[in-house]
Amino acid sequence: MTEHFVAPPLWEWYIVWYFFLGGLAGGAYLIGTLLRLVGDPRDEGVARLAFLVAFPAMVICPLLLTLDLGRPSRFWHMLIDSRTGVPNFKYWSPMSLGAWALLFFGLFATLSFIEVVFKEGYARNAPARGIASLMSGGFGRLLMIVGAVLGLFIAGYTGVLISVSNQPVWSDTWTLGGLFLASGLSVAAATLVILARGRSDTASTEGKLSRADAFFILLELILLVAFFVTLGALASRLLAPRWLVLWALVAIGTIIPLAMTRMRSGRRGAPVLAGLLVLIGGLALRIVVIFGAQM
Amino acid sequence: MARTVAFFTDTTLCIGCKACEVACKEWNQLPGHQPTFLDSFDNTGRLDEQNWRHVQFIERGTPQGTVAWSMMSDVCKHCALASCMEVCPTNAIIRTEFDTVYIQPNVCNGCRDCIAACPYNVIGFNQDTGLAQKCTFCYDRLQQNLVPACAKACPTESIKFGDLSQMREVARTRLKVVQDQGVPNAQLYGEKEYGGLHALFLLTDKPEAYQLPRAEHAVLPSRNNVRGYLGSAVTAVLGILGAVIAFRQRGEG
């Protein structure tokens, strides 16, 4: 373990929710893209739902980040050097990289959202038609793939960001990027399972989503074990009594949904319940990792 | 006039008078925190946005069974390889013409990434201004060819100021004197850490007793970039693979 004497950066609720929604937005965009690329035509309903979910989740992210700044009016300093006016880009600083990734992911999430809004018949104007036709062709697929890669980055880089510090716990493990990514994918799949109940064209995809989520949860559990192994004795800091309720929620939000998928419960509400537990677990994980290292 | 400056803080001469803390606050117009009493003589607590010098009062046992104080006036180390500067996404943290590390208050947007990066617990977040703040090495005084306020005020010359090469020389000479006087644990801190610090310290105990990471622990945040992204990339590939397998299976209904 590296021995440092570091003050907490006071990253609190805005950051917790950003990490959660970033994972949801990026994960949903990837799921939507993959459903279109490798699924069958009956999966289009859930794919559309995924793009409809990714956009609002993405829009909230920069707002949360801006509100968290000490000087919100200077949010643009993340992208532009305020002294020279030239773009600020430090690939070795995940916060700098993330600001750019969020900007570009926002562009792709917006395009896909408009496309779906048009196809669903909510907007019929000429710009929406143009975007829908752009996104429907082969070039549109390419755009979607680039958006999905950016979505993956958004879902995972947050863990790398806190690792690229000297903060005990965060900087003592390589697992946080993967852990947040796996959890983000799982949260996105769970959200889509829940919201799919509101549509009539999603029945054939629900099972696929649940199976994918089971795999994401498995990945998350493996990374959770790796997280504690890499922390070694330092893990005791995160296992203090005050955090045990949150860890219990993380356990409930992973193990129970996984078991429910395995058991293939015939009850109609079971996938929704499993999805809700995943959402609670995903949020609890971010709360305990973010607050736990700072106290 | 560009020059490479440094502090040399000789803890064996510190008497804990806190003149450095007061002079720093006076010059830099730092109001300080509300005082708290009845804790210890070290009621400053830590370096932060209001305390750019902090006299540590460290109690330690002596071979005679009594308790002795070690005092050290701590300050930003103005590292040659600065963790804060490395992560700062806005380029608010710059290296000045004096080779010091300076947070530009007109550029900083208060993201606080630097606070999580600083391995010396130096930077604090000012809730009133919304900015990250720390010692400026009295940048304005340096520009006028003046000695930083803390070094100027120190009555015992525990805090010395000068060119880096000169300070290293003074520090080595002083180390030899102190060792010859029978302080075997005396050691210099700051020659190797983070590419060489611009605040050197003569210590009489191991660095961690003064909340200073040992040389082998003086590592930069960017060390975690590759392994962090690699972990994410492997997870991404596995996640995509799992999703593809799940999505290619025949759906029900």
Whether residues B87 and A78 touch (CB distance < 8 A) is answered with no
Whether residues A215 and B239 touch (CB distance < 8 A) is answered with yes
Residues A209-213 have a mean pLDDT of 93
Query: Does the residue A150 lie in any domain?
Result: yes
Interface mutation vs chain B, best among A1, A4, A231, A268, most B CBs within 10 Å: A4
Whether residues B115 and A8 touch (CB distance < 8 A) is answered with yes
Whether residues B90 and A207 touch (CB distance < 8 A) is answered with no
Q: Any idea which of A166-170, B2-6, B40-44, B51-55 has the lowest mean pLDDT?
A: B40-44
Whether residues B86 and A82 touch (CB distance < 8 A) is answered with no
Domain of residue B62, residue span: 5-219
Predicted local confidence at residue A266, as pLDDT: 61
The DSSP code for B17 is -
Q: Tell me what percent of chain A is helix, strand and coil, each rounded to the nearest 5.
A: 80, 0, 20
User: How far does B32 lie from chain A, in Å, by closest CA?
Assistant: 18
How would residue A203 be classed by pLDDT, with cut points 50, 70 and 90?
confident
Residues B167-194 have a mean pLDDT of 95
Question: A with B: how many residue pairs have Cβ under 8 Å apart?
Answer: 234
Interface mutation vs chain A, best among B44, B56, B90, B216, most A CBs within 10 Å: B90
d(CA A52, CA A115): 10
- Nearest chain A residue to B49 by CA: give it: A7
How would residue B68 be classed by pLDDT, with cut points 50, 70 and 90?
confident
Predicted local confidence at residue A265, as pLDDT: 57
**Could you say which of B91, B121, B235 has the minimum Cβ distance to residue A7?**
B121
Predicted local confidence at residue B253, as pLDDT: 46
Pairing of strands B93-95, B101-103: antiparallel
Q: Any idea which of A35-44, A58-67, A267-276, B140-149 has the lowest mean pLDDT?
A: A267-276
Residues A272-280 have a mean pLDDT of 94
The mean pLDDT of chain B is 94
Whether residues B113 and A175 touch (CB distance < 8 A) is answered with no
**In the predicted model, is pLDDT for residue B39 greater than 80?**
no
User: How far does B181 lie from chain A, in Å, by closest CA?
Assistant: 31
- Nearest chain B residue to A79 by CA: give it: B90
The sign of the CA dihedral B117, B122, B125, B129 is negative
d(CA A176, CA A179): 5
Whether residues B246 and A212 touch (CB distance < 8 A) is answered with yes
Within 10 angstroms of residue B179's Cβ, the number of other Cβ atoms is 13
Using a CB-CB cut-off of 8 Å, the residues of chain A touching B131 are: 70-71
Number of domains forming the structure of chain B: 1
Whether residues A8 and B116 touch (CB distance < 8 A) is answered with yes
Interface mutation vs chain B, best among A91, A93, A229, most B CBs within 10 Å: A93
Predicted local confidence at residue A161, as pLDDT: 98
Query: Does the residue A6 lie in any domain?
Result: no
Query: Does the residue B238 lie in any domain?
Result: no
Give me the CATH number covering residue B31.
3.30.70.20
**In the predicted model, is pLDDT for residue A264 greater than 90?**
no
Predicted local confidence at residue A13, as pLDDT: 97
The mean pLDDT of chain A is 94
Pairing of strands B199-203, B93-95: unpaired
User: In which residue are the tokens 């090469």 written?
Assistant: B165
The DSSP code for B39 is S
Query: Does the residue B228 lie in any domain?
Result: no
Residues B5-29 have a mean pLDDT of 97
Number of domains forming the structure of chain A: 1
Within 10 angstroms of residue B81's Cβ, the number of other Cβ atoms is 15
Query: Does the residue A8 lie in any domain?
Result: no
One-character DSSP codes across B112-147:
-HHHHH-TTS--EEETTTTEEE----SHHHHHTT--
B154 with B73: CB under 8 angstroms?
yes
d(CA B27, CA A169): 37
- Nearest chain A residue to B251 by CA: give it: A204
pTM of the model: 0.95
Strand-pairing partners, residue B190, are none
Q: Any idea which of A259-268, B120-129, B184-193 has the lowest mean pLDDT?
A: A259-268
d(CA A41, CA B39): 70
Residues B112-123 have a mean pLDDT of 97
User: How far does A56 lie from chain B, in Å, by closest CA?
Assistant: 23
Tokens of B182: 């029978």
d(CA B244, CA B21): 62
Tell me, letter by letter, the H, E, C secondary structure of B61-99: ECCCCCEEEEEEEEECCCCCCCHHHHHCCCCCEEECCCC
The sign of the CA dihedral A91, A92, A98, A99 is negative
Length of chain B: 253
Using a CB-CB cut-off of 8 Å, the residues of chain B touching A175 are: 231
Whether residues B89 and A78 touch (CB distance < 8 A) is answered with yes
Query: Does the residue B246 lie in any domain?
Result: no
How would residue A137 be classed by pLDDT, with cut points 50, 70 and 90?
confident
B8 with B147: CB under 8 angstroms?
no
Predicted local confidence at residue A267, as pLDDT: 67
d(CA A38, CA B248): 6
Residues A211-224 have a mean pLDDT of 96
d(CA A149, CA B153): 57
Query: Does the residue A5 lie in any domain?
Result: no
Predicted local confidence at residue B252, as pLDDT: 56
d(CA A149, CA A155): 10
Give me the CATH number covering residue A36.
1.20.1630.10
The DSSP code for B49 is S
Predicted local confidence at residue A200, as pLDDT: 82
Query: Does the residue A151 lie in any domain?
Result: yes
Query: Does the residue A64 lie in any domain?
Result: yes
A215 with A259: CB under 8 angstroms?
no
Residues A192-197 have a mean pLDDT of 93
pLDDT digits (tens, 9 = 90+) for A11-22: 999 999 999 999
Query: Does the residue A272 lie in any domain?
Result: yes
Whether residues B217 and A204 touch (CB distance < 8 A) is answered with no
Q: Any idea which of A223-237, B2-16, B35-49, B228-242 has the lowest mean pLDDT?
A: B35-49
Query: Does the residue B249 lie in any domain?
Result: no
Query: Does the residue A263 lie in any domain?
Result: yes
- Nearest chain B residue to A152 by CA: give it: B236
Tell me the percentage of chain B whose pLDDT exceeds 70. Answer: 97
Tell me, what's the ipTM? Answer: 0.95
Domain of residue A58, residue span: 13-294
Residues A49-55 have a mean pLDDT of 97
pLDDT digits (tens, 9 = 90+) for A26-49: 999 999 999 999 999 999 999 999
